[in-house]
Amino acid sequence: MAPNTKNTHIVRASHLAKGQTFDVSLFKSENVEIDSTLNEGEVLIRSLYLALDPFIRYSFLEDSSASGPLNGPVGGIGIGEVIESKNPAFPVKSVVLGFGFEWAEYSKVTAAKLQAFFVIPNPRNPKIALTEYLNVLGLNGLTSFAAVETLVKFKKDQVVFVSSAAGPVGSFFAILAKRAGAFVIGSAGSDEKIQYLLKDIGIDAAFNYKTQDASVELSKISKDGIDIYFDLVGGEQFDIALEKLKPHGQVVAIGNISESNAKTPYVTKNLGFIIRKALTINGFTAYHHFDKVPLLWKTIGPLVENGEIPAQKEVVIKGIDNAPQSFVDYLNGKYHGKVYVEVATL
């Protein structure tokens, strides 16, 4: 690749003030030169797929520890091909999954950042779509897999409740719980998503939290309560789950998306149940468990290859310039399942 090659990348045009609507005006697309000259330990990567994950919005927040710099590249998780390398662990033509992938056609990655990049084994395997490494074999799968590996001891016939169960993280939690013999209940925000959970993912029961009373539905589905709650939304569903959990039940707190666009924070009313029922509440983030990526691939990869993991919903949008609008649409609920932008193909 010639030095100073033109490169399209997406940067933060402004930060998101409290109460401001997240929209495309926060992004800016630029066509700039990238100096492809590498120092020792560095690689140059051509982007293939970029994941549109909800956590990306936090880098836009004003006065937040997660804020990224203005005019700095938007970053997330992606898959790319190494086209130049001065790092023997990442040879030319290897395909990598990266946690900290710039929204750009090409990215120069330092040795320090490569600690969160992993070479994908056999990326041209026809039985495993490359995009699975942004889904079940990527951050979403790692979140569910590592949380179960480190925090949860499933028992047969336990009642497990998963909020936002039709999303890529929630649906994989549901799959893992079903494989362990649990009775799985899921909540989602549309009737289409409910049918997806029941027919495609194969859970035992589901309800639409927007049109049905979550407390009533959980009581009808499982009169004796629930054993484990995988919380991806926080807010009212977390509150209701505290009420419905059995004594010595467990909450694995993964996300708080109900608060993302809330103008006023939800006030939790049932915290007293944590004490009275001796509940266990575990917070969890996959960013503490990158070391489990090889184990995830070793354990779950063969199940994907053999078709034992049900196909999860995914949406592929072509063109890096479409990333900002597609991300806004995703936050506004236009898509369900995993959403990617295809920048290029192998």
Q: What is the pLDDT of residue 29?
A: 94
Give DSSP secondary structure letters for 53-100: -GGGGGGGBTT-TTPPPTTSBPEEEEEEEEEEES-TTS-TT-EEEEEE
Q: What mean pLDDT value characterizes the chain?
A: 92
Q: Which pLDDT band holds residue 258 (cuts at 50, 70, 90)?
A: confident
201 vs 217: CA distance, rounded Å = 20
Helix axes 139-151, 293-305, angle to 10 degrees: 110
35 vs 90: CA distance, rounded Å = 19
Q: What is the pLDDT of residue 260?
A: 64
Q: Is the pLDDT of residue 18 over 90?
A: no
pLDDT tens per residue across span 33-83: 888 889 999 999 999 999 998 889 889 988 777 788 898 899 999 999 999
When pLDDT is averaged across residues 310-339 and rounded to a whole number, the result is: 89
Q: Is the pLDDT of residue 2 over 60?
A: no
Q: What is the pLDDT of residue 346?
A: 87
pLDDT tens per residue across span 173-199: 999 999 999 999 999 999 999 999 999
Residues 99, 104, 109: CA angle, nearest 5 degrees: 50
In degrees and rounded to multiples of 5, residue 38 shows phi and psi of -105, 145
Q: Is the pLDDT of residue 3 over 70?
A: no
Give DSSP secondary structure letters for 252-318: EE---GGGTT-SS------THHHHHTT-EEEE--GGG-GGGHHHHHHHHHHHHHTT-SPPPPEEEEE
- Whole-prediction pTM: 0.86
| The dihedral sign for the CA sequence 178, 182, 183, 185 | negative
- Give the H or E element holding residue 161: strand 159-162
Q: Is the pLDDT of residue 271 over 70?
A: yes
Q: Is the pLDDT of residue 213 over 80?
A: yes
Pairing of strands 106-109, 117-119: unpaired
Q: Is the pLDDT of residue 335 over 90?
A: no
CB-based contact 94:119 (threshold 8 Å): yes
Q: What is the pLDDT of residue 257?
A: 76
When pLDDT is averaged across residues 281-288 and rounded to a whole number, the result is: 93
**Could you tell me which residue, 20 or 311, shows the higher pLDDT?**
20
**Could you tell me which residue, 197 or 19, shows the higher pLDDT?**
197
**Could you tell me which residue, 260 or 235, shows the higher pLDDT?**
235
In degrees and rounded to multiples of 5, residue 63 shows phi and psi of 55, 50
Q: Which pLDDT band holds residue 124 (cuts at 50, 70, 90)?
A: very high
Q: Is the pLDDT of residue 236 over 60?
A: yes
Q: What is the pLDDT of residue 229?
A: 98
Q: What is the pLDDT of residue 4?
A: 58
Q: Is the pLDDT of residue 287 over 70?
A: yes
Identify the weakest region by mean pLDDT among 155-164, 172-181, 185-194, 256-265.
256-265
When pLDDT is averaged across residues 105-131 and rounded to a whole number, the result is: 94
When pLDDT is averaged across residues 113-123 and rounded to a whole number, the result is: 95
Closest by alpha carbon to 24, among 7, 10, 39?
Answer: 10
Q: What is the pLDDT of residue 1?
A: 57
